[in-house]
Amino acid sequence: MDALTAWLEKHVLPIAAKIGAQKHLVALRDAFIGTMPATMAGSVAVMINAIIRDLPGQFISTWGASIAEGKGIFALISTIITINGYVWNGTLAIAGIIFAFSWGFNLARAYGVNDLAGGIVSLAAAISGVTYSYSGTLAQKVPADLMDQINANSATSGWSATADGITANAWGWIPLNNMDANFYFTAMIVGFVASIIFCKLMLANITIKMPEQVPPAVSKAFAAIIPATAALYVVAIFYWIFSKLVPGMTLLAWIQEMIAKPLLGFSQGYGAVLIVTLFVQLFWFFGIHGTNVLAPILEGVFSVAQLKNVNLFQEGGMSAVLDDGYKWVRGSFDIYAWFGGAGGTLMLLIAILIFSKRADYRAVGTLGVGPGIFNINEPVMFGMPIVLNALLFIPYILAPLVSVSIGFFATQAGWVNPVSQQVVWVTPPILNALLATAMDWRAVVVSVICMAVTFAIYTPFVIAANKVQPTDL
């Protein structure tokens, strides 16, 4: 054990420390965290709709029709659903736009320049390359009088017709799937390039200088004009070159096809899930916040998949998630492995309260179980501690690997619904599993099994610790 710990300290710890301090990755992590007020509000709206609209419909066949009719209590339910729809429109439906601003804002802050302008530059750069038009043709025989009527208004309506079909051309309409979680990868790449150009020019002091008498807010705005303009023109030229090299396809569509889909597909493999779980635990064991270090993967890949599931559920219910969604997403780790925090430490605390005879362990267990119920495990991580505790290294690494495997294969086999709701991270275990899977009781059963297995793995080591004095560790 000492040899393994020494090897990890020599080879893994320095890498983890560098990753945790790398300012671009820190900015990316903070950018995802910055979107939480909007994404959580949208998730609450989708969850409420799932409870009052979708769940009862699984048991009452006339539920949907009654809501549509809107009489009596169903008028109130219909109103709540509509209000939740508005919340979704301004949050999850445009989550990519919100992230684009947050990304530039945090990058600019990392470089110590105008963060508000950085967010605006990132957002403007990312959105300038999306399509603003729609075109579609319906192949259908059109009577002559109807054809003339459609063509008479085509200049304003965008509709035109021939004897063989109707064509709709609209400008000024941005497809919603250009703005939601599909937009994350585009915003990540384009927003990064534009923001870095902006930051470098700001640091090089290539700015408009205003007299000292000018208010600071005005001076800051003018100082950002040249760097912002240069950054946006560089991105615009790139978009133009891309349109010539890849005609008929936007950068967003290309990134989705060539980068996003392969990454998201890779995330659905058992090996990827296991590796991410392993490294989160290893980093935490050395006192480094593993979920933060791996935030670019957890949030940039698995959370994007989760937002896709949330939006699919809003649009088409669980059947849409099962048909076109992802089986394993960010919330899956929480409900099947990280109950009480990374490592499933709530189960360790329960094992301590039942089996431990050590006063120091029991004191930490008593103090830590309350926060642990709400997935806050710093008291046990640093109070026991688990960090660099050779006695608990094996169960702390092993338990999440086993429990995540149980949850992964149960989900892949279709025994439980995939996570389709975004639940706030402090939601207690079991309740988290129920809410995250749109009230699937089977997910609760699997989560309880994972918790029991984790408890069983920790228990022998807790009992063994009774024979070891604190001074011996």
Tens-digit pLDDT profile for residues 115-162? 999 999 999 999 998 887 777 677 777 787 777 777 777 766 667 777
**What pLDDT does residue 11 have?**
61
**What pLDDT does residue 472 have?**
47
Strands (E) located in 32-187: 133-139, 159-162, 165-171
Report how far residue 310's alpha carbon sits from residue 181's, in angstroms, rounded to the nearest whole number.
10
**What pLDDT does residue 14 have?**
66
| DSSP label at residue 344 | -
Chain mean position to CA 13: 26
**What pLDDT does residue 473 have?**
45
Q: Is 428 helix (H, G, I), strand (E, B) or coil?
A: coil
| DSSP label at residue 472 | G
**What pLDDT does residue 124 have?**
94
For residue 50, give every residue at least 6 positions away whose Cβ sits within 8 Å of its Cβ, in sequence order, or none. 313, 420, 421, 438, 439
The four Cα atoms 214, 215, 217, 219 give a dihedral, to 10 degrees, of 20
Chain mean position to CA 98: 12
Supply the Cα-derived Rg of the chain in whole angstroms.
Answer: 26
CB 49 within 8 A of CB 82: no
Residue found by looking up tokens 């925090």 in the block:
341
Report how far residue 115's alpha carbon sits from residue 84's, in angstroms, rounded to the nearest whole number.
32
CB 55 within 8 A of CB 63: no
pLDDT < 70: residue spans in the chain: 1-21, 55, 57-59, 136, 155-158, 170, 181, 287-288, 292-293, 382, 388, 468-473
The number of beta carbons lying within 10 Å of the beta carbon of residue 18 is 11
- Strand-pairing partners, residue 136, are 168
The number of beta carbons lying within 10 Å of the beta carbon of residue 311 is 25
CB 353 within 8 A of CB 467: no
Structure token pair of residue 416: 């439980």
Written as one string, the DSSP assignment of 224-285 is THHHHHHHHHHHHHHHHHHHHHSTT--HHHHHIIIIIHHHHHHHTSHHHHHHHHHHHHHHHH
Chain mean position to CA 299: 5
Q: How many residues does the chain have?
A: 473
- For residue 385, whether the previous peptide bond is cis, meaning omega lies within 30 degrees of 0, is yes
- β-strand 165-171 against 133-139: which pairing, if any? antiparallel
* Nearest CA-CA partner of 35 in 188, 202, 175: 188
